[in-house]
Amino acid sequence: MHIGGLSLAVFISVLAGFAYYKLRTKRLLLSAVAFTVFIGAQIALLVDATWPIMYDFEIMSISEIGHLLTFVTLGLLALGVFRND
Protein backbone atom coordinates (compact mmCIF):
# COMPACT_ATOMS: atom_id res chain seq x y z
CA MET A 1 0.00 0.00 0.00
CA HIS A 2 2.80 2.43 0.86
CA ILE A 3 4.70 1.56 -2.32
CA GLY A 4 1.59 2.36 -4.35
CA GLY A 5 1.16 5.62 -2.44
CA LEU A 6 4.81 6.47 -3.02
CA SER A 7 4.50 5.79 -6.74
CA LEU A 8 1.36 7.93 -6.95
CA ALA A 9 3.00 10.73 -4.95
CA VAL A 10 6.03 10.79 -7.25
CA PHE A 11 3.81 10.82 -10.34
CA ILE A 12 1.62 13.64 -9.05
CA SER A 13 4.66 15.62 -7.85
CA VAL A 14 6.22 15.45 -11.29
CA LEU A 15 2.95 16.57 -12.89
CA ALA A 16 2.58 19.42 -10.39
CA GLY A 17 6.18 20.45 -11.00
CA PHE A 18 5.64 20.59 -14.76
CA ALA A 19 2.42 22.52 -14.30
CA TYR A 20 4.15 25.02 -12.01
CA TYR A 21 7.04 25.41 -14.45
CA LYS A 22 4.56 26.20 -17.24
CA LEU A 23 2.17 28.55 -15.41
CA ARG A 24 4.19 29.89 -12.43
CA THR A 25 1.31 30.48 -10.00
CA LYS A 26 1.57 30.34 -6.21
CA ARG A 27 -1.28 27.84 -6.03
CA LEU A 28 0.59 25.37 -8.20
CA LEU A 29 3.76 25.96 -6.20
CA LEU A 30 1.93 25.08 -2.98
CA SER A 31 0.50 21.97 -4.63
CA ALA A 32 3.91 20.87 -5.91
CA VAL A 33 5.47 21.38 -2.47
CA ALA A 34 2.58 19.53 -0.83
CA PHE A 35 3.00 16.49 -3.04
CA THR A 36 6.76 16.55 -2.49
CA VAL A 37 6.14 16.53 1.28
CA PHE A 38 3.75 13.63 0.68
CA ILE A 39 6.65 11.70 -0.89
CA GLY A 40 8.54 12.15 2.38
CA ALA A 41 5.52 11.02 4.37
CA GLN A 42 5.13 7.89 2.28
CA ILE A 43 8.84 7.08 2.62
CA ALA A 44 8.62 7.48 6.40
CA LEU A 45 5.52 5.27 6.59
CA LEU A 46 7.11 2.67 4.30
CA VAL A 47 10.22 2.53 6.51
CA ASP A 48 7.98 2.21 9.58
CA ALA A 49 6.03 -0.64 7.98
CA THR A 50 9.20 -2.43 6.88
CA TRP A 51 11.43 -1.94 9.94
CA PRO A 52 9.09 -0.95 12.79
CA ILE A 53 11.54 -0.77 15.70
CA MET A 54 14.78 0.12 13.96
CA TYR A 55 14.17 3.82 13.33
CA ASP A 56 12.69 5.20 16.54
CA PHE A 57 13.99 8.62 17.49
CA GLU A 58 14.06 10.07 21.00
CA ILE A 59 11.36 12.69 20.49
CA MET A 60 8.88 10.77 18.30
CA SER A 61 8.62 7.57 16.34
CA ILE A 62 8.94 7.44 12.58
CA SER A 63 5.24 6.65 12.19
CA GLU A 64 4.42 9.89 14.01
CA ILE A 65 6.77 11.73 11.66
CA GLY A 66 4.98 10.16 8.69
CA HIS A 67 1.61 11.19 10.04
CA LEU A 68 2.87 14.70 10.78
CA LEU A 69 4.14 15.02 7.20
CA THR A 70 0.75 13.81 5.92
CA PHE A 71 -0.92 16.49 8.02
CA VAL A 72 1.46 19.12 6.59
CA THR A 73 0.56 17.87 3.09
CA LEU A 74 -3.12 18.36 3.77
CA GLY A 75 -2.48 21.85 5.14
CA LEU A 76 -0.45 22.88 2.09
CA LEU A 77 -3.09 21.50 -0.26
CA ALA A 78 -5.78 23.40 1.64
CA LEU A 79 -3.72 26.60 1.35
CA GLY A 80 -3.35 26.02 -2.38
CA VAL A 81 -7.06 25.38 -2.92
CA PHE A 82 -8.41 28.21 -0.79
CA ARG A 83 -5.78 30.79 -1.77
CA ASN A 84 -7.04 33.89 -3.56
CA ASP A 85 -4.57 35.02 -6.20
pLDDT at 85 over 70: no
- Tally of domains in the chain: 1
Q: Report the C-alpha gap between 37 and 69 in whole angstroms.
A: 6
Cβ proximity of 38 and 72 under 8 Å: no
What is the model's pLDDT at position 48?
Answer: 87
pLDDT at 15 over 90: yes
Q: Using CB atoms within 10 A of its CB, is residue 34 exposed (0-12), middle (13-18) or buried (19+)? A: buried
Q: Which of 40, 36, 72 is nearest to 48 (CA)?
A: 40
Which carries the bigger pLDDT value, residue 19 or residue 84?
19
pLDDT in tens, 20-71: 999 999 999 999 999 999 999 999 999 888 887 766 667 888 888 999 999 9
Enclosing domain of residue 75: 2-82
What is the model's pLDDT at position 56?
Answer: 67
Chain Cα centroid distance, residue 26: 17
